[in-house]
Chain A
């Protein structure tokens, strides 16, 4: 596609519910990132994939958060047993190679706004 696509655009979940957020990166982009952005804050790193390999998941806040990219393209961020503090915008970004290799430019999707009630 022309850009990074994320779905759903908005998600409302009841506390304790599981959610799955989808990211469709730019075709051919090797690297994919997930970020969490709380209201009024900058994005915070969650996890990073190079192709299908998850090279860094140090930013995932708890074991309720799980991300996968099984075929090296589309990625899914899953949050189990959602809590109110999980409410945030979840941004996905992709780049041709690593964030600091190639063009170095990250292309972001518009995000999924998750509200946990």
Chain B
């Protein structure tokens, strides 16, 4: 049973457009939620980290939101660029086992010119 679900599974957008990726989780209680970007053939790179008490965190054109009540998070990408083409993975950290991260399966984003 996947405790971190992401949608859509894949997404195609045109360069310059905005998009929003969704993450729903059932992990409880959780300590923090992270978004990672993973380019093909590379390891994931951290974009944002939010604790359960935070509801938004920005990193350049990336803005993550968190609603701990509904157990939902989103990653909004503004003014997309070709280099944004990658998989975006939502990751949740358990409260009582904070070293074990639970990864979603990711959303594969493709940005076309």
Contacts and interface: CB of A to CB of B under 8 A. Distances in A.
Contacts of A110: 41-43
A contact face: mostly helix, strand, loop, or mixed? loop
Interface stretch (A42-50, A67-75, A79-87): A42-50
B99 A106 contact: no
A106 B46 contact: yes
A4 B93 CA distance: 21
B99 A100 contact: yes
A105 B37 CA distance: 13
Interface string A59-103: 100000000000000000000000000000001010000111100
Interface in B74-113: 89, 91, 93, 97-106
B26 to A, nearest CB: 15
A42 B104 CA distance: 5
A109 interface: yes
Interface in B1-46: 4, 31-32, 41-46
B42 A105 contact: no
A104 B100 CA distance: 12
Nearest to B91: A42
A108 B43 contact: yes
25 contacts: A4-B43, A31-B99, A40-B105, A42-B89, A42-B105, A43-B44, A43-B89, A43-B103, A44-B103, A45-B100, A45-B102, A56-B97, A56-B99, A91-B44, A93-B43, A99-B98, A100-B32, A100-B98, A100-B99, A101-B98, A104-B32, A107-B46, A108-B43, A111-B42, A111-B43
Interface of A: 4, 31, 33, 35, 40-45, 48, 55-56, 58-59, 91, 93, 98-101, 104-111
Interface of B: 4, 31-32, 41-46, 49, 89, 91, 93, 97-106
